[in-house]
Structures are given as structure tokens and as C-alpha cells.
Structure 1
Amino acid sequence: MVSQNLQLEIQGETDIETSIIDSISYKKLHIDLNGLNKEIDSLQNKLFKIGYIENKLEEISKKNDSSYQAIFQLKNRYDTIYIYFEKDIIKKSTLQNISKQVFDDYFILDFQKIETSLQYINSKIIDLGFPFNELQLQNISIKNKNTLQATLTTSNKTQKRGIDKIILKGYEKFPESYLKHYLRIKKKNTFNLSEIKKKTEALDGLRFANQTKDPEVLFTKDSTILYLYVEKSKSNSFDGFLGFGTNKTTNKIDFNGYLNLNLTNNLNYGESFNLIYKSDENEQKTFKVHLSAPYLFNSPIGTEVGLEIFKKDSTFTTVNQTAKIFYPINNKTNIYVGIKSSMSNNLLSEENLINSIQDYRSNIYSIRFTHIKPQKNKLFNKNLGLDIEAGTGKRSFSSNSENQTQLSLEAFKIINLNNKNSAFLRINGSSLFSKTYLENELYRFGGINSIRGFEENSLIASQYGVINSEYRYQLNQTIYIHSILDFAYLENNIISQKDKLYGFGFGFGLLTKAGLLKFNYANGKNESQTFKFSNSKIHISLSAIF
């Protein structure tokens, strides 16, 4: 059997009405009579929505075996409606988002905006805890030739809903404190599903958990039960790198590296423990431990404590102890206050004493602000970061006591050009302001985590700034290549040194089953040096998640 297309022609009672119908557009060819009738109904609904609420289908006639004609009478078009409302239904501020003409007991809408405007108003009422609310326009009447008027009514106003119970599926031991203070979802909160969905998106910013599907809700006659679907993620990491380059003095290859162990949420409290051990080719050793415990005793306050021991060959040792409390402004932003206590010992014998290295003690009180914005990318899971810290206190050595100020900044941003291309920019630096300076209190930087192409911690400064930049190209979801272009400026007030440094090269990253493997080849120089391949450094690091 061969099907035959049916042709539909729709006209108005006048040429003007026909042109209006043609401007709406409709499907003219149909495979059967049922589809043809549905198209006529669809057109009539479109006429209703643009203000022809009195339109009438006069007739449908068959012109021949494959052609039909429908005649509509459009009548009057209404372009405006006055909607009267009660103040306890909706706030005027909400109505002002959909209408520029809002008065004490009514507001004015373009007729074509009625459907979307009522949907918006209803969504706002639902957000107030009335998930079964329905809006209706009643007592619709003609105000004048082109204007209607109606009364806005609502249903189920008395059935306000709050969250009575929260059930976690998948990761039942998810920290309750994170539910309360990180996601800010609590029992007895007004039920607002759209707001809950926005809050649970923050789970993607956690290292130890992620959301498996959108929240769901079960309504019973007298309770509202919220279901959250969360799974525990691998969050422990082991990070290390191996670096090697030619020693300028011995002309032999020197090796250096570090280990970084991070244990997160192993006790299901969201806690983290970090241990770093670093040894570099300048006979410098660093040992750091750091413990962070958020939401102590189910409160919004968290604490951090840390210990750092630095040893410079047989010259000096410095021990830093820190203690901070922090408060999360939201799930991306924290503010900290704390104290850092430092003690340094000169290890040199009396005949080898260096005047710029002294035993000293200091106490610095600080305030810190951090902000992290995550993104969904297996290779680069943070899009933006900001970390600012300022501290002030006293440092004493021998019989001297001086006021000191310390400032530090780290900020980075990934500019995603498209799915494969992106640019990475990072700025970090620190400044120490003091009347006098000691070598064993200065900052040490250089290497894979600061300016690449230089030995680890080989640069010493009383203040410095580093700009890192990369152009990244993702070959697929697990491999990327990138350029390296770094710039640094340092000042050492002990020896009156001011220097500009440059690092450039290339690298790649490979996400394996063991973790993220990074390879960097970079050459570093200052502005007075000429380029030498022998100054190049190769850095290899592996960050394993378990």
C-alpha cells in the first residue's frame, strides 16, 4: 500500500487574517488525516497564546482527494492583561522580575508572556516550600478592547514542606558535619529541590566524595524525605619527583627530589594529613607535617597545625610551628587566623661564624584568605585559586627585637579556549619587611613548584615574585603537552641583590593507572647570562591516588 500526502491550507476570513496565520507558519503536508487534524489544533493553540483567545474554527472542507482547507475566524486580539493578586501569595519583588508595571494589588503583563511568567511565579512559590502548588487565573474578563483582567489564585498554600529526614545512599558514613556546614543541607530546612541540587554540585569540589546522581525526594502525607546519592572517592595521594642536571662545579650530574604523602578522610571526618620530605642537591633538607581538621565538634570552625624543619648542610636549622583556626565562608572560600612560631639555630663553629646567620626566635600572627573554584576535568580539576596571607609580629636575636611583616600571595587561573586548548597562568610570591635581615630567615624557592629550570630551593630572597605560564594542548582525556615560560624577580636585602630570572621549555602530563606522571624540560637563566644547554633541568614527578 502506497501512502499519499495530504495537503493542508489554512485561511482566515479576511486577507489580513490569512496573512497573520501565514506568519505563524504551520505544517502543510501530512501522511494521514489524524496528523492533519492535530496540526489544526496546534495552530489554534498558537493563536490563543498570542492573544486571539476568541478565535474559532469555522469549517474544514475537502477540496479534493489529497487537499483540505480550514477556515478560522480570529476575531479580536488582546495584547495586555491586568492580573490582580493577594500580597500573601507572592512578593512584589518577584513580580518586578517579570513586569515593569507592578502595583499594590495588580501587575500588567504582555499577553504572550502569561505562560512563562506564571511558571516563574509558581517556581518561586515552590521554592518557599510548597512543591505541590498550582497557580490559576480566574474570573477572566474583558477590561477594554485590547486588554483582559484576571485574578491570580494559588492552591495547597497550607502544605508547606520542610526536610524531615536525609538519607545518604552509597556512602552512608559521609561526614555529617560536611552535610551541615559544607553543603548546608539540614533537617527542618524549607524544602527547595532546585536549591538542594545547586548545593550538592559542590560535592564535585571534594577530594573524598562525589555525587553519583541528582537528589531525589519522597513525599508522604506528613513527611518529606531527601535522598542524596554519594560515593566515596580515592583521596589519598603520593606525590614525588626526580630532578637531575649538570653540577656547575663538578660538571657531573646531580640528582634531587622529594616525597609528598597526603592522607585524606581516612577516618570519615574530612580530615587531612600531609607529610613532605625534600632533599636537594644543595645539601638542603626539608621535613613538613600538616594536619587539618575541619568542622570541629560538628561546628563550622576548623583547625590546622603544622611543623616544618629545614636544615641547610652544616650551617643552620630552622623549625617553624603553626596553629590556625579557620571558618568556611562558603564551600569554596575559607578565612584563617593563626600564629607561626619560628626558632633557628646557627650550627657553625666559632671560627666559621657568618654574621648574617644568627640564632633567632619569632612569633608572627597572621590572617589568611583562600578561594578555590573546581572544574570537571580529569587532568586539571581546579579552574581558579587564590591564597593571600598577611602576618605581623616580632623577631629577636642576641639582644635585638624587631617588628616584622610577612606577605604572601598565590593565584592561578586556567583559561579554557576550547575542549583541547587552554592557557594556565600562576602568580606567587612572598615579602619579608624588617629593619635587618638574617640569611636563615629568608625565603627559598626555585624548581618544579616555582620557577622551572633552576635547582630546587637554590634561590634566596627577602622578597620575590614568580609568574608561571603554560599553553596546554590535550591530545585526549589522559595526555597533554605544554609549553613553559616562567619569569621571576627577587631581592636579597642582605647582599643588595636584585635579579630577573627566566625559565622556558616544554613538558607533558600522562594520566596512568598509577597516577599523573609529569615531565618537564626547562632552561633557567638570569638577565645577564647567555643561554647554555648545560643549565637545563629535567623534572619528573608522579602523583599517585589511592
Structure 2
Amino acid sequence: MISVMIKKSPRWRASGLKYSLEQQLEISGENNWSTPVIYRDGPRYSPEQKRQQHSGQRFSTLWILLIVFLPTLLLCSHLNGQKLELNIQTDDFSWEDNVPSFTSLSELNDYLTEWRDRQFQDAYWEASVDSLLQLDSLNYQAHLHRGPAYQWQDLRPDATIPPRWLSKAGFRTRLFRKGRLLVHEDWLIVRDSLASTAANNGYPFASVGLDSIEWSAPGVLSAGIFIDRDSLIFFGAPRIPEGARINQTFIQRYLNITPGEPYNRRTIQRLPNRLRRLPYLKLRGDPTVTFEGNEAIIELPLERKAASRFDFVIGVLPNSAQTGNLLITGELNGELQNGLGQGERIAVRFQQLRPQTQELQLQFEYPYLLNLPFGLAVEGDLYRRDTQFINLNYRLAATYRWRTANRIDVFWSRRQTNLLGFDESRVVITDQLPDTLDVRRSFFGLGIDRDETDQVFNPRRGYRLGLSLSAGNRRIKRNQKLLDLGLGPRYDSLELDNAQYNLTGQVQYYRPLLAGTVLYLGVNAGAYLSDAPLLPNEQYRLGGAKLLRGFDEQQVFASSYAILTTELRLLLGRDAYLYTFGDFAYVNPRNQAIPDAPNDYPLGFGAGLSFNSKAGIFAVSLALGRRSGEVLDVGAPKVHFGYLSVF
């Protein structure tokens, strides 16, 4: 809800239309927060038009009579299980329906009211029950009047109304051309849409209505559309409490409020939802709009909210497929949100995946660089695979945000692999290059992220969508140690320089089912497209607590993959829930070392619990997994313990 305060002189408008049909059609409406109905003076009426006016008032007169005499009628209706009969008399149409019997007078009255409403829907705006007479204790007679079906002669927008406004309002001349039925809703849609369009273009006090009204024949209406725009209103600078610790320019950019720009009601209506999506700010109440002169000043009752976090996950993997023994893995995450008051984000992630295998990731995001609508995102990733190789990846992106949680990235990324060591004796004996080689890859790409969930953490409904497409060049670098061993000719058999494409996508869907339960469906997919087969150190690495549960961390290597996740959550609180899950995957493991390997279809399933306490949020999960052709080993579950602290 948005509260509104108007600091200006009250505006009085004439209210001269007394013609009941025009009042019933609500021919005018002003662009106020409650959108009251107003009326505008019209032309004088001929005797024939006054006759139509009188017929349009018949129904209201009948209601007054019913209110006065209803108690008497009810007292006289001692039915004792008998039925009431109704005889219909008409003066300008033929009654063809079969009239049922009624158990009470109220049921009979509802029948007549429904008949009148159906006539209104068919544009018979004079339809009324002229009289309802009680012939005896069980018989009634109703006299009905329908009148002509009302039609448009034409509806002409005023020349001062911008065509763009009419188009946005959905106005089409053909909807109001000669012979078209005068449908109430058609006009109301145009009227309200025009008023909203004016409010979105700097005129929050604009009023829209009909003028130049003429009845060219009984039931045939010709009119024009007018807009009284009132004052042009501009946005002023939003007012933010000092304790919120947020930069004024950031808030203006984020909320799309630029001082000096025309007022936009749609922007105001989106304020609460946009502000709730900022994890480091909290709304203490509803935003308030104050109109001072020709400026709209927005009061934002914000306060700082803890959003930076530290968390860790410990994995206990008995009988690990990688080591054959108990394997303990660890992951540490740190994230600093809005530390400088600019909406920036700094994140660090460290993983110990297996003995002598570590990964370090760094991220920095700055939403609005130099007060421009574009931001900057920088990422770095260092992955060391025991003594075999080390991957160094970095990514630089220009970001553009729209509609709060949605953004577009245009990025450049560089990925390189440096060979650390290899089995020299094996290489010399087989006279073959090792499975992993030095590789350099450069990509240019486009990424799109869209978030339409109801809340950032633990959503109840909505969806998230992410898509990334990139193209670049992949080059294999000759390793000097291998050249010294005389394996230079083996490089000549490889395609050392070729084009490569990368496509990844994620979809998350949340939907509440029974009370206190949420269904989560997710799809994660990725593929490398290239004429030359990938090396193992170029492939995706799957498995672990985040993706494809039930397997060791980054145990599964893939050139392309797709994972369907289903999860049923039983909500225990805002950040607490019990869940069961299943991960169903397709994996293409083929690479240069195993070019003919069959597709794999891993399956993982299990359950978990997330709960909060004063110290933070704790989580525990247990998962089992199996690959194609393997027997499920219930004695080797993957157990993960997690902790999250927000500060």
C-alpha cells in the first residue's frame, strides 16, 4: 500500500449530469487514488430523450416501492410448502422463457433481478421491472420493459490526447463504430486505462470523461473523449533516513526515480516490492508520497538490515569413490553486502574438495558505475587438481539491471589450464600425450538473469531463469617438458586452434501445494559445442551438495549435461523447512581420452532439514546416489552439515 498526502488547494469540479443512464455508465472518472466518479455537463435533451431518461429511472422507483411494502408482502405470504407463480407481462418485446415456480418472494425477486442484469449485459440499458403486483397469496404479476439495444454512433477522442496514450489505453475506433453495442465495460476499460496512462506520464490528477454527448436516435449515442490533465508533476529527490546507510544516487537508480523527470504512478506502485528485494534494507512502514507544488516527494521509511553473511558446509563421505576411504570435504563462504553504501557485493568462496584439491572463487559487483545505469561485475576462479593441473578463470562483465531483480550481462571471459605434472614414464612408454594439456580459451558472451520469486531466500512461489551463451577461441599450448621428451609430433595430430561455444541455463520454479508445503522444480543444463573433443580439464565438474547430490564433490565430468531436480518442502518457519529431493541427470562424459564413452544417467535422492536459531541457520542433509550400471550402495551415504550466520 502507498500512502498519499496532497499539499495543494482542493479542486472543485462541476457535477451537472443528471441523466441516470449516463450516471450508470460512469461516463467520467478522475485519476485520483480512489478514482471517484465525476460528471460533466452535457447538452440539453429533447422530449424524446427525456422519455428515455424517465424509462431509465423506472427500476429505482420500483425498489423504493418494494422497500416500503416488502414487510407487508412477506407477512401475507404464508406458503406452507406451496409454490409461488409468476405471470410476465411486457410492453415492447415478447417473453419466450418458461417461468419457474418459486419457494419464496426473495427467490422470485432474484429471478427478476437476474433478468434485468442479463439485459444490461446485452446493452438494453432501459430494462426494468415497472411493476410487481400480488394477485393472491400464491400468484404475482410483473410488468417488464426492455427498450432498445443501445448502440454507439461514434466515439471521438479529443485532438489534444496524444495518439500514444490512446494506443496504450487500448482505444480502437472499431470498438465504438456505428452499430456496435454500447457495452459498459468497453468504455470503462478505455477510461481507466487513459487515466492510468496520464498518471504514468506526469499527470496524477488527470480526469477522463465523455463530453459533446448527443443522442442521434433512441438508444444511439455519439460522444467525445476529453482529458483534463491538471498540473504536470515531477519527481523530487526521495527522502531517506540517515540510519539506512544507503547512497541517495543508488536508490534513485534502483527505484528508477530521477528528480526532474515526470511523475510515474507505475513506479510508485512498484516501490514496496522493489525495496523488499534489497537484502540489506528493511521497510519500517509504507512509502509515502507528498505532493508539494509541482513535485512528488517520496518518503522511504528504511532502516539497515543485516545481510552480509558467513557460512560453511562440511561433507562427510564414507567409502568415497575417489579415495576408497572416509573423505571429509569443506566449503567456506563469505559475503559482504552494501559495506560502502553503494549496493555493492563482495564474495569469497573456498572449497577443499579432496586431498590436494582446492578451489578459490572471488566475486565483486558494483551495480551503478559512475552514476550510469550500467554496472560492473568481476569474477576470478582458481582450481587446483592435486598435482595434475591448475585452472585459472576470470570474467569481466558490464551489467544492466531492469525491473529490480533482472539483469543482462555482456561479458568477456578467459579460461586457462596449466599442466603441473604428469607420469613421465607412462608418457614415454606409450608415446602418447597425457589426458590433460595446457589450454587457453577466450569467450565473448551474453547472459540474462530473471527473478520473479516472492522473496530472495526460501521462496514460496515464482520462478528464476538464467541463460548464458558465449562463443570464442580455444587453443592448445605446447608444453616444453613434453617437447623435451620427444612428443612434439603428437601435437601435430591435434586440432590446436578451433572455435568453441558454451551454453548454460537454469530454471527454478516454486509453487505452494497444501498448506505449509512448497514444490520446487529445477533444471540445470550446459553444453560445450566444438569440432574437437574436449580435454578432461575443460569439462564441467558435477556432484556434491550444490548440484547432483548423492555423489562426491565434483566427481562427475561432463561435456554436456542436464539435471532435473524435484524437491518437496515442509515449511517450519521463514528460514526453516524439512525436505525430500531427487536429482535425475543426463551426462555426456566423452572427451579426448574416452571418445566412445556411453551416456550416463546418474540418480541422487535423499532428505534434509534447515532450521534457524539465535546463533544462525543450521542445515543437515543425507543423500544417496548411483550411476548407470551400478548398484545403489546404501552403506555410502553423503552427509553434509551447514551453518549460515548473517551480520
TM score, norm. by length of structure 2: 0.68
- Please list every run of 5 or more consecutive structure 1 residues that lacks an aligned counterpart in the other structure: 30-43, 64-68
2:473 to 389, 393, 400: 393
Return the offset for 1:263.
1.5
State the SS of the aligned residue for 1:167: coil
Partner Cα separation in structure 2 for residue 178 and residue 143 of structure 1: 58
Q: Give the aligned residue type for 1:452.
A: R
Partner Cα separation in structure 2 for residue 138 and residue 250 of structure 1: 85
Between structure 1 and structure 2, the one with the greater Rg is 2
1:541 aligns with 642
Moved more, 206-215 or 275-284: 206-215
Q: Give the aligned residue type for 2:368.
A: Y
| Superimposed CA distance per residue, residues 343-394 of structure 1 (whole angstroms, 9 cap, x where no aligned partner) | 5141458558794266735241221312131322552377222131424124
Contact 1:344–1:360 (8 Å) recurs in 2: yes
2:551 to 454, 457, 461: 454
State the SS of the aligned residue for 1:449: coil
Q: Give the aligned residue type for 1:540.
A: F
Return the offset for 1:411.
0.8
State the SS of the aligned residue for 2:602: strand
Partner Cα separation in structure 2 for residue 169 and residue 16 of structure 1: 70
Q: Which has the higher strand share?
A: 1
**Pair 1:370-2:448 in alignment:** yes
Moved more, 263-272 or 278-287: 278-287
Return the offset for 1:412.
2.1
Q: Which has the higher helix share?
A: 2
1:80 aligns with 151
Return the offset for 1:483.
2.4
Partner Cα separation in structure 1 for residue 299 and residue 260 of structure 2: 15
Return the offset for 1:406.
4.6
Contact 1:506–1:521 (8 Å) recurs in 2: yes
Q: Give the aligned residue type for 1:123.
A: S
Q: Give the aligned residue type for 1:511.
A: F
Residues matched between the structures, number = 524
2:112 aligns with none
**Pair 1:412-2:507 in alignment:** yes
State the SS of the aligned residue for 1:235: coil
2:20 aligns with none
State the SS of the aligned residue for 2:459: coil
| Superimposed CA distance per residue, residues 190-242 of structure 1 (whole angstroms, 9 cap, x where no aligned partner) | 21213431365333443333555554322233332233444443322223212
**Relative to 1, partners in 2 of residues 1:352 and 1:380: Cα closer, same or farther, differing over 3 Å?**
farther
Contact 2:407–2:449 (8 Å) recurs in 1: yes
1:273 to 338, 343, 346: 346
1:6 aligns with 71
Partner Cα separation in structure 1 for residue 547 and residue 502 of structure 2: 17
Q: Give the aligned residue type for 2:560.
A: Y
| Superimposed CA distance per residue, residues 326-349 of structure 1 (whole angstroms, 9 cap, x where no aligned partner) | 333554131222131525141458
Q: Give the aligned residue type for 2:208.
A: L
Partner Cα separation in structure 2 for residue 95 and residue 443 of structure 1: 50
State the SS of the aligned residue for 1:110: coil
Return the offset for 1:278.
0.8
2:584 aligns with 486
**Relative to 1, partners in 2 of residues 1:345 and 1:527: Cα closer, same or farther, differing over 3 Å?**
closer
Q: Give the aligned residue type for 1:454.
A: F
| Superimposed CA distance per residue, residues 398-449 of structure 1 (whole angstroms, 9 cap, x where no aligned partner) | 3765235251413122251525241422223342737465444444322112
1:286 to 351, 359, 362: 359
Moved more, 507-516 or 165-174: 165-174
**Pair 1:512-2:617 in alignment:** no
Contact 1:358–1:397 (8 Å) recurs in 2: no
Q: CA RMSD in A?
A: 4.5
Partner Cα separation in structure 2 for residue 121 and residue 426 of structure 1: 42
TM score, norm. by length of structure 1: 0.79
Contact 1:445–1:458 (8 Å) recurs in 2: yes
**Relative to 1, partners in 2 of residues 1:304 and 1:59: Cα closer, same or farther, differing over 3 Å?**
closer
**Relative to 1, partners in 2 of residues 1:532 and 1:204: Cα closer, same or farther, differing over 3 Å?**
same
| Superimposed CA distance per residue, residues 63-97 of structure 1 (whole angstroms, 9 cap, x where no aligned partner) | 9xxxxx9x999695561244343121353435654
Alignment of 1:100-111 (within 5 A): 100-102=174-176, 110=182
Contact 2:604–2:626 (8 Å) recurs in 1: no
Percent identity between the two aligned chains: 16
